[in-house]
A = this chain, B = another copy of it.
Amino acid sequence: VNDALAGLEEQYGVVIGYRAHQPEIEVKVRAASLQLARRAADEAAARLGPDLVYGEGDAGLPEVVGGLLAARGLTLAVAESCTGGLVAELMTDAPGASAFFVGGAITYSNAAKTAALGVDPTLVTRCGAVSAEVARAMAEGARGRFAADLALSLTGIAGPTGGTPDKPVGLVHYALATPRGTVDRHLQHPGSRAQVRRRAAYAGLALIREQLRLL
């Protein structure tokens, strides 16, 4: 972020500060006038781009995503494995979540993936619980069972153990089931168990935000 904003302080005569509460980074612009701050902030947002900049002010990504869902009248369900409920907890942290959040399943065991989401057990055997195929089946299962417009799934290896050369600690597969079909992604998150879980949850929310712009 600092590299992308190089030269901005001199250009506008402002002071730029950062506060990172991982995985969110807050960029603060201080200036002699509101107008100067506004112009520098707009340029900072333009340089970073709309994929990275999701809001201005106090709202974190969960609230921003909740606001986008509520504004569109869309409902969300979740199917969480490695994050163990963190996405749901983030989405229901602010009041008013019942306007868009229906519920979800935390399917830590493979049996739970089948019982709660209808994931085909042979799919788990063939592809592994941490795979694009299972992530897609979890998202589609959650969308159907919870009768939600969108369903986000996450399945990965939070660590510190359980990694393999093929599927190392930090690997997380995501899928988002929508009325227009299902998309999937995977990311390799660095860090401790807590960091992997938190980064995974925010990456899942970022996927919802990304897809909402296309729906």
Contacts and interface: CB of A to CB of B under 8 A. Distances in A.
A48 interface: no
A116 to B, nearest CB: 6
A105 interface: yes
- Give chain A's interface secondary structure class: mixed
A177 interface: no
B103 A105 contact: yes
A95 B146 contact: no
A195 to B, nearest CB: 12
Contacts of A108: 92, 97-98, 101-103
Interface stretch (A2-10, A16-24, A34-42, A78-86): A78-86
Contacts of A106: 78, 85, 88, 92, 103-106
A138 to B, nearest CB: 11
B145 A111 contact: no
What's the number of copies of this chain in the assembled complex? 2
Contacts of A109: 98, 102-103
B84 A86 contact: no
Given A80-B85, A84-B89, 6 more contacts: A84-B91, A85-B86, A93-B194, A95-B158, A98-B108, A105-B106
29 contacts: A78-B106, A80-B85, A83-B89, A84-B85, A84-B89, A84-B92, A84-B101, A85-B85, A85-B88, A85-B89, A85-B106, A86-B89, A93-B197, A95-B158, A95-B160, A97-B108, A98-B109, A101-B108, A102-B109, A103-B107, A103-B113, A104-B106, A105-B105, A105-B106, A111-B147, A115-B145, A115-B146, A115-B147, A116-B146
